[in-house]
Amino acid sequence: MVTVAGVDELLDETGQPRPIARDLMSRLDTLGLDELRERQRATDLEILTMGITFTVYSDGENIDRAWPFDIVPRLIAGAEWEQVDRGLKQRLRALNMFIDDLYNDRRIIADGVFPADLLDDSANYRPECEGISPKFGVWAHISGSDLVRAGDGEFYVLEDNLRVPSGVSYVIENRGVAKRTFPELFEREFVRPVDGYTDELNKMLASLAPEGRSNPRIAVLTPGIFNSAYFEHSFLAQRMGAALVEGADLMVGDDDNVYMKTIHGPERVDVIYRRIDDLFIDPDVFREDSTLGVHGLMRAWKAGNVAIANAPGAGVADDKCVYAWVPDMVRYYLGEEPQIKNVPTYRCMYDDERTYVLDHLHELVMKPANESGGYGIVIGDRASEEALAEVRRAIEHDPRNWVAQPILELSTAPTLVEDGLEPRHLDLRPFVLTGAESYVTPGGLTRVALQKGSLIVNSSQGGGSKDTWIVDAPFEADADDGVPTESQSQSQSQSQSQSGAG
């Protein structure tokens, strides 16, 4: 069963190109399908040769796979993006204040805005972090929020990834590849560049260094080559001129400083951008059996001798259950209305909401609170009866671990598949940096479900990617319908219509 087609990013309801996409679609038309296929082939080959890869765990021997990329870009109007940019910065400010509050004063609980018992069995709450207040009060320095455009034409935040979000390297690589695939389009369009991210990341990380450390030394801590995002760890280290280290490359001295093991002897490290889960970073404090971490790292962090990004414990706020409270956090901490929407979320821990969920399994998406990568998600209208029975049992057994949301009609964009250009569902993961100031990538990683009708966009489960273009200016002058920007025309015409997500 396939849901009714939602909004398409590039085409309007009549199948005509939207103003921002006119140039692109007419160009694709002129090139023709054979030429597009040829360019797709050339691009696939380039990705293979450049070694842009991701790694799949469960794939037997072939662990290192070429990154899947669809050459047709996904376009978003600059004016609409400004709104998203503001909304995400606001959201991350509030989330960081929330984390800092939880590990310190817990005002939000005292004021009755957030239920205390939610923390008791949170898998990502780290009591070891209580009483710590990192620089700028920021815990989630690097986050990736998954957005979808629903049937009403609006962007919604589907989830916040505050632990070790990945994908930003592919944003940058996709752009490099796209420029060579469609050089003629980049001459005409004003596409916001994405290359600046690593510089911003570098600056933000450097700003976290302990006081008095000029020219701070930054290290990217990776679990190693078998991690699915190893390519990215290496890419980011390379772009920042940082050291790429594994746990065994670091040690903590008796002086509680962190050192790298170099051919020159021990060299002090000031900032660690960790890309391993916090349960593994220090076997003295968390999992004893971790071979990926560094003995004494938490001690060094607590002593203020090293900054860790993201801070251990930051994951408490990307719990899919905590998600439901984010709009309240924005209001509570900032006294503002949220500028980017949350998907309505039923929390199975509450009897009335759980009863509703169990009565409406067919209409909802059920999500386990502490899984990532799309694992464990059950989509009610396409799951088998056995799968629904199983999720019902799981919810009844452990209601705290489950939330449910309406099935969103994810937007689509034309994608080059076997039969030509066809609409495929997609989402968007912009990356947000939060330090003393905030930064949002222009666009982000567009992931596309290559299977017809599928809503699963994760690359670990057969999803692809697209280059994401935030386009400014000239298309407005061409727009003969007199509508100033794409986003405004769309929100005006569709704000009336209600959808399951509204």
Partner 1 sequence: MVLLSRVADRIYWAARYIERAEDAARVLRSFGDVLADIPTHGIARWNSLVAVAGSETVLEPEDGSDERPVVHFLIADPDHSNSILNTVESCRENLRTCREVLPREAWQTVNDLSIYVRSTAATSIGRRAREAFLMRVVNDSRRLDGVLTVAMTRDAAYEMWRLGRYIERGDMTTRVLGVRAATLLQLPPGGHDEFAEVRWMSVLRSLSALQMYQRASPGPIDGPDVVRFLLFDHQFPRSVAGCLAEIRSSVLRLPANETVLHMLERADRELKSCRPAADDGHELDDAMDRVQLSLAGLHDALAARYLRF
Q: Which positions touch partner 1 (CB under 8 A)?
A: 48-51, 217, 224-225, 234-235, 237-238, 242-246, 248-249, 260-264, 267
Among residues 246 and 256, whose Cβ is nearest to partner 1? Answer: 246
Identify which of residues 249 and 476 has a Cβ nearer to partner 1 in the complex: 249
Give burial (CB, 10 Å; 0-12/13-18/19+) of 269.
buried
Tokens 């569902």 sit on residue:
425
Nearer to partner 1 (CB atom), residue 87 or residue 247: 247
CB of 324 to partner 1, least distance (A): 40
Count the neighbouring beta carbons within 10 Å of the beta carbon of residue 150. 25
Nearer to partner 1, 50 or 389 (CB): 50
What's the closest the beta carbon of residue 308 comes to partner 1, in angstroms? 19
CB of 370 closer than 8 Å to CB of 110: no
DSSP 234: H
Q: Which is nearer to partner 1, 264 or 397 (CB)?
A: 264
Closest approach, Cβ 289 to partner 1, in A, equals 22
Q: How are beta strands 265-269 and 258-262 bridged, if at all?
A: antiparallel
Give 102-143 as a DSSP string: HHTT-HHHHTTSS-THHHHT-TT--GGGTT---GGG-S--EE
| Rounded CA Rg of the chain | 23
| Cα-based distances in Å from 431 to 68, 152, 179 | 20, 24, 21
Amino acid identity of residue 419, one-letter, is D
Query: Closest CB to partner 1 among 224 and 420?
Result: 224
41 CB-near residues (< 8 Å, 6+ apart):
none
Q: How far is the CB of 236 from partner 1 (least distance, A)?
A: 8
CB of 44 to partner 1, least distance (A): 12
Say if CB 67 and CB 53 are below 8 A apart.
yes
Residues, the chain: 502
Nearest-approach distance from CB 241 to partner 1, in angstroms: 8
Q: Which is nearer to partner 1, 180 or 188 (CB)?
A: 180
What minimum distance in Å lies between the beta carbon of 276 and partner 1?
Answer: 16
The alpha carbon of residue 339 and the mean position of all alpha carbons in its chain are separated, in whole angstroms, by: 18
Distance in angstroms (rounded) separating the CA atoms of residues 164 and 143: 8
Closer of 235 and 439 to partner 1 (Cβ): 235
Whether 364 contacts 356, CB under 8 Å: no
Query: Shortest Cβ distance from residue 33 to partner 1 (Å)?
Result: 27
62 upstream amide cis, omega within 30 of 0: no
User: φ and ψ at 267, to 5 degrees?
Assistant: -125, 130
Minimum CB separation of residue 167 from partner 1 in Å reads: 18
**Number of helices (H), then strands (E), in the chain:** 14, 24
Cβ-based nearer residue to partner 1, 110 or 225 = 225
Task: Tell me the CA distances in angstroms from 118 to 163, 349, 354, 397, one per residue in order.
Answer: 19, 9, 15, 17
Q: Which is nearer to partner 1, 51 or 484 (CB)?
A: 51
Q: How far is the CB of 266 from partner 1 (least distance, A)?
A: 9
